[in-house]
Amino acid sequence: MLNGLIVIVALTSVLLAAFAGQMSALTDSIVSSARGAVDLAIGLIGLMAFFLGLMRVAEDAGLLRHLARLIGPVLQRFFPAVPIDSPAMSAMILNISSNMLGLGNAATPFGIKAMEELDKINSKHGTATNAMVLFLAINTSALAILPSGVVSLRASVGSQDAMGIFIPTWFASGCATLVGITAALLLSRLRIYRSTEPEPVPAHTVAETPELDAPATLDKKPGRRWMGRLFWLVLAGLLARFIWESRTEATADVITDVTSTWMLPTLVATLILYGWVRGVRVYDSLVEGAKQGFQVALRIIPYLVAILVVVGMFRASGGIELLTLVLSPLTDLIGMPAEALPMALLRPLTGQGAFGVMAEIMTVHGADSLIGYMVSTFQGSTETTFYTLAVYYGAVGIRETRHTVPACLLADAAGLLGAVFIINLMFG
């Protein structure tokens, strides 16, 4: 389906640009989008190298095995084809947890690692399995507990209720996740998708992966455990001091500061410290994992170029404006202001474009207006679907996406509709 969608969007963009006299803008967009896709992939190299290095530390220390055995039984109800001790299970747990906490920077490398491990138990490389489709649907539904990035932007543009989107975001992203999971499961049963499902890998070929177990050469030293406890005690004290010094600020601002500035460093410290206490040679593991991250970042460049160039063409041709014009009578019926519609259309296509439109809307109409609340919830409760598909599937060379696109778009639609409903209910 993705192949057909790319062809339709590209050809439609050319016709629209020719009709509107925007061929020059379309040409510029093709060049700039192609360059931007490569720049984006290169920008991901350092991030992915470091976080996949952290994943290697966690693997060598046995943390992923423990995570899989602790939470895996719950997740396996949705992924019955994935062995509970597979590295894919623990990587998915880290990815979903990072997304829920708003740690998008960490979530992407963990998600790519999960996709690589899922591909190892795929009997038909290049074709998405049901587990891959479901994992992508969960990712694009963006179940969020702490939308710290959006809260920070709302505060920066003068919102008096920056955290007012928490409940709407929980509701809307919950709707998206529920619909995404349901759609992925139900669509997989349709004959057209069931016939293309890769055969399960025989059980003897997916035995427990040795890398999940802590290496026999771990250099465990009893004193490290106590030093680790001392580190957490000191860090907790410093956090308490930070909160105490911020007591004159609004509670919302303090929570935003803590979630946006403390969580990611704390996650890094947790993984590194756990490995060190367990006797892992942290530097060596980081380097080995980073090598893999570098290679993955290069592999996804062609997929990013294909997706982002076509998306850029559609924007430059005026396709978004045309869709807004056509759909605005329908969106008025459900309580979505016409000013919020471009944001809703851009969100699945481009993260940067949607973020810029959201910031502009809040600047013009106010962050605490109905429209401001709505676009903030759009941003926090849905994901950049086609970027996510390009990155995750590009990392493992998936070309036959099966029912991924409809499942993810249904999740996006549910998140947007949920946002419209809850915002009108609470602030309308």
Domain extent listing, the chain:
35-296+322-427
- What is the mean predicted confidence (pLDDT) over 214-229? 65
- Give per-residue pLDDT as tens, 47-102: 778 877 887 887 788 777 777 777 778 888 889 888 887 888 888 888 888 777 66
DSSP letters for 235-258: HHHHHHHHHHHTTTS-HHHHHHHH
Q: What percent of the chain has pLDDT over 90?
A: 20
Asked if residues 128 and 143 have their Cβ atoms less than 8 Å apart, the reply is no
Per the model's pLDDT, the better-predicted residue between 126 and 349 turns out to be 126
Asked if residues 140 and 412 have their Cβ atoms less than 8 Å apart, the reply is yes
Nearest to 139, CA basis, from 187, 88, 90, 173:
173
List helix spans (H) across 146-300: 148-156, 166-187, 191-194, 222-245, 251-261, 263-277, 282-299
Chain Cα centroid distance, residue 405: 15
Q: Is 60 exceeded by the pLDDT of residue 208?
A: no
Mean per-residue pLDDT of the chain: 82
Rg (CA), the chain: 22
Residue at 124: amino acid letter: K
What CA–CA distance (Å, rounded) separates 329 from 325?
A: 8
Cβ-count burial 169-179 (b if 16+ within 10 Å, e if not): bbbbbbbbbeb
Its sign, for the CA torsion 337, 342, 345, 350, is negative
Which pLDDT does position 167 carry in this prediction? 87
- Give per-residue pLDDT as tens, 300-354: 788 878 888 888 888 889 888 888 888 888 888 888 888 888 888 888 877 777 7
- Rounded to 5 degrees, φ, ψ at 400 are -95, 100
- What is the mean predicted confidence (pLDDT) over 183-209? 78
What CA–CA distance (Å, rounded) separates 286 from 297?
A: 16
Q: Is 60 exceeded by the pLDDT of residue 212?
A: no
Per the model's pLDDT, the better-predicted residue between 283 and 299 turns out to be 283
Which pLDDT does position 136 carry in this prediction? 92
On whether the pTM is more than 0.95, the answer is no
What CA–CA distance (Å, rounded) separates 278 from 219?
A: 7
What CA–CA distance (Å, rounded) separates 350 from 356?
A: 10
- Token pair of 250, please? 């609004």
